[in-house]
Every structure is written in structure tokens, then in C-alpha cells.
Amino acid sequence: MTRYVLKRLAGAALVLLALSVLVYALFYLAPGDPARLACGERCNPRQIAQVREQLGLNEGVFAQYAHFLQGVFVGRDYSTGTSVVRCDAPCLGLSYQSDQQVTQLVLERLPATASLALGALVVWLVVGVGTGLLSALRRGGPTERILTVLTLAATGTPVFILGLLLLMVVCAYLQWLPFPTYVPLGENPEQWAWNMLLPWLTLGLFESAKYARLTRSSTLETLAEDHIRTFRAYGVGERAVVTRHALRGAVPPVVAVSAVDLGYMFGGAVLTESLFGIPGLGKTLLDGVREIDLPVVVGVVMVMGVAVVLAGVVADLLYAAADRRVVLT
């Protein structure tokens, strides 16, 4: 077990290293002068040269990459001419636009993304697993057909269309909710929940289609197994067979896929965040792209990489924990 985790983590570290090389190479090759971008529109050549010196852009690409890694593992110093800014590990550089440390920026934006992702998790676990279970229970009947069509339609709907439709119906037409604006949880928990309701529903319902299919197919697979036949032979009712025993087969995949999806969301559910104006990681990435703020873009991509890779390891561990038959090697 411990050996397995160590092995997987070593693999994860390699993947992240590869990602950082790739991302760094891309941004180094990118056209446009970072010093000019960092300095702003009105800088004269002398100021630009100064900024280039401060950011260490005069060094070769390997030296720059080495400094980037140094920043991540032990931290680094940036001199701004008169003073020295200490950027502690894990340092992902300074934003060109605001001179803020990228690590700090990411940490500030993390709660918004987290509140979106966790709420959506609840929605897809309830709606997705519920739908899948119902469709397994009513297999062959009209209910299943309707659910299959609904799931298929939901699969084809991009999340921003779903969100726009919900906004139109719930906020504009029925006027049940005001247009959502993000309120931090720490500020006002009640307002936070009301304003997050629509984003949660949007992202959660969007993901539900996948979980409904996953639950349905794993439940049906379990229903075909021998022990289920034994339960039936003992006279256990169909509902109890499905909900108590066959559903158990759906738990490991649902848990594992949820872990992976949560990992993805910490790279920012960019579309949902953008639609509802949630100041999370996805929005940070988009702002970074619009302002060509490369350290921010690299930082968010690296954080996303860490989240996705760790989520993969966690998903495997959870799968093994939920299904004792699986042995991790």
C-alpha cells in the first residue's frame, strides 16, 4: 500500500516536471517581450531594460527554468531596484500586471473555486446517482426511456448553454432568484449559498448525466452477478436488491470518478465561473490570458496539473478502499 502510494507519487512528480518543462518552453518561445508587458504601455527602453534585469529575463532559457524550479522548491528573491521582494516556496513568480505573488493570487482565488466544486459535487451525487439508480430499477420501462433521452440530451448540452437557460428561466422569467453575484462564505454564509445555488445546479446537473450513465451501467453489471441471484432466490424484493445490494457496485466507480472530476475543477471550472462571475481559478486563468500575464497563466496551469495528478492517485486509493476485491500493485 505505502509502496504503491510512493510509486504513484513519484510518477506524479515526473508528470508535473514534464508539464512544467512543456509550459515553460512554450512561454519562452512565445512571441512578445515579457519585459515590455510587465512594464506597461508607457515604458521607455531604459525602464524596459531595467525590468528585464529584475525579472532575470537576460539569462538563458535553462537558467530561467532553473530559477523557476528553485522558486517552487526553496523560494527566490526578486529585486525591484531599491528593495528585494522575498518570494517563499512554492513561488510561482510575480504577476506582470500587479506584481503580486502568483502563489498568493492562487490561494486568494481558491475558496471561490472550492465552494463551486463542492456544491456541484453534492448536486451530481444526488441527481446523477439518483437518476442512474432509478433508471436501473425501472429498466425496460417508459421511465427508463425518458431518463435515457434526458441523459443523452444533457450529454450534448455544453455547460454554458445549460447555465444560460437556467439564468433565463430562473432569474429573468420566473424571477425566483436575483442574478447571482459572488459573496464569500466568510462574509455572509446565507447570501453565499443563495448566490451559489444556480452555479451549483448548472455544474452539478451538467455532470449528472455522466454519473447517471455510470451508476446505471455499474448497477446493471452487478445485477447480473451470482450473489444477486442468490438474494433473489431468498425472496428479497427487487427494490431492496437494487438499492441495497446492486448499488454497492456503483459506489467504487462513482467515488473514483468524482475524485478525478473534483481534481479537474480545481483547475477551474472555467466556463461556469466565467458565466456566473465567480472569481475562482478559472477566472484568474482567463484574466491572465487576456492581459498576457504569463506567470499567472503558468502558475494556474501548474496548480491545475498538481490537482489533477493528485486526484488521480486519490481516485485509485478510494476505488481500492470502496472495492475490497481491487489490489493495488
Q: Please give the Cα distance from 273 to 109 (Å, whole number).
A: 11
Assigned C-alpha cell, 7: 510509486
* Cα–Cα nearest to 92, from 82, 102, 107: 102
Q: Which is nearer to other proteins, 54 or 284 (CB)?
A: 284
Q: Please give the Cα distance from 246 to 61 (Å, whole number).
A: 56
Q: Which of residues 73-132 bind other proteins (CB under 8 A)?
A: none
- Closest distance to other proteins from the beta carbon of 15 (Å): 5
* Cα–Cα nearest to 59, from 37, 35, 94: 35
Q: Is 203 in the site for other proteins (CB under 8 A)?
A: yes
Q: Please give the Cα distance from 266 to 304 (Å, whole number).
A: 6
> In this chain, which of 285, 306, 313, 318 binds other proteins, going by CB under 8 A?
285
Q: Please give the Cα distance from 265 to 114 (Å, whole number).
A: 8
Q: Which of residues 124-153 bind other proteins (CB under 8 A)?
A: 148, 151-153
- Closest distance to other proteins from the beta carbon of 265 (Å): 7
Amino acid at 6: L
Residue with cell 431492496: 240
> In this chain, which of 91, 106, 112, 294 binds other proteins, going by CB under 8 A?
294
What secondary structure letter does DSSP report for 247? G
- Closest distance to other proteins from the beta carbon of 251 (Å): 15
Angle formed at CA 217 by CA 215 and CA 218, multiple of 5 degrees: 65
Residue with cell 475524485: 259
Q: Is 250 in the site for other proteins (CB under 8 A)?
A: no
Q: Is 213 in the site for other proteins (CB under 8 A)?
A: yes
Q: Which of residues 13-32 bind other proteins (CB under 8 A)?
A: 14-15, 18-19, 22-23, 26-27, 29-32
Residue with cell 436575483: 178
Q: Which is nearer to other proteins, 162 or 241 (CB)?
A: 162
The binding site for other proteins (CB under 8 A) comprises 14-15, 18-19, 22-23, 26-27, 29-32, 148, 151-153, 155-161, 164-165, 167-168, 172, 203, 206-207, 210, 213-214, 217, 257, 264-265, 267-272, 274-275, 282, 285-286, 288-290, 292, 294, 297-298, 300-301, 304-305, 308-309, 312
